[in-house]
Amino acid sequence: MALFRRPSLLACALLAAGLVVFISAGRWQYGKAVQKEAERDAWQVSLALAARPAQAGDWNRLSGYDRVVVRGEWLPQRYLLDNQIRESRSGVEVYAPLRVEGGPALVVSLGWLPYSGARREPPALAELPTAKVELTGMLTPPTAHGLRLGRAWSDADGYPKLMPYFALDEIAADAGVALDTRVLRAQPAEGSPLQQTWHPVMSMPPERHRAYAWQWWSLAIAIVVVFLIVHRRARPSPRTP
């Protein structure tokens, strides 16, 4: 006698659909874990490498978290990303566009400054030089933001403009230049009050993605077990003499 009953087409379809959903969700979570681990490893490796001059033909090959030396001229606009926390202190991250010599225009993160005074007033900024400058820094993805409600600033604002979220497209439109999709995190000059403590921000670490992947795959195994239990033939009762 067969150990299992013949399942209905509906039961088979539900099992197949569940397996597709759970296995696919697990693969997606596992892929995110691998991707974020690669990003974290690339950032840590780059920290130990010396910065190299970025030549005109290098920009299409630069990726990840490359440390570079660039020369260029500052554009007059400056932007402050509001409400940035460093060691339990609130402040702003200072950005300015740079027209790079032999490369694309970049938004440069000059670093972080604390609010001045008890009223959380934006700090005073030193003037940027008008002559060409040489900067050392790391190319990174732009700062992530959540839900965008309206524009990053009003047209009436002067400079520096205070931004509730980082908006690369709005900075490009305001500065009137096409900007590279990466941000240069510049190394502050010695003695500067600016602090450059950026690191990749991950809303969910790779370890949690991997844990979720195994949860989804465990559900796939569970529905197979339930399917087999439901369709297992009951043992016949022993006949009494």
- Please report, for the chain, the start and end positions of each structural domain, with discontinuous segments joined by +: 1-48+204-234, 51-186
How do residues 159-191 score in pLDDT, each as one tens digit?
A: 888 888 888 888 898 888 988 888 888 888 877
How confident is the model at residue 97, as a pLDDT? 93
User: In this model, does residue 68 exceed pLDDT 90?
Assistant: no
Q: Can you spell out the DSSP letters for 90-102?
A: EEEEEEEEEEETT
How confident is the model at residue 113, as a pLDDT? 86
User: In this model, does residue 241 exceed pLDDT 60?
Assistant: no
| Torsional sign, CA 179, 185, 187, 191 | positive
Nearest one of 126, 120, 125 to 83, comparing CA atoms: 120
User: In this model, does residue 218 exceed pLDDT 90?
Assistant: yes
Among the listed ranges 45-49, 81-85, 145-149, which one has the minimum average pLDDT value?
A: 145-149
Q: SS3 letters for 180-210?
A: EEEEEEECCCCCCCCECCCCCCCCCCHHHHH
Q: Between 200 and 132, whose confidence is greater?
A: 132
User: In this model, does residue 38 exceed pLDDT 80?
Assistant: yes
Tell me which range, 14-23, 66-75, 231-240, is most confidently predicted by mean pLDDT: 14-23
Q: Per the confidence metrics, is the pTM higher than 0.75?
A: no
How confident is the model at residue 125, as a pLDDT? 81
3-state helix, strand, coil in the chain (%, to 5): 30, 25, 45
How do residues 92-132 score in pLDDT, each as one tens digit?
A: 889 999 998 877 888 999 988 888 766 667 777 878 888 89
Q: Between 140 and 56, whose confidence is greater?
A: 140
Q: What is the mean pLDDT of residues 6-20?
A: 91
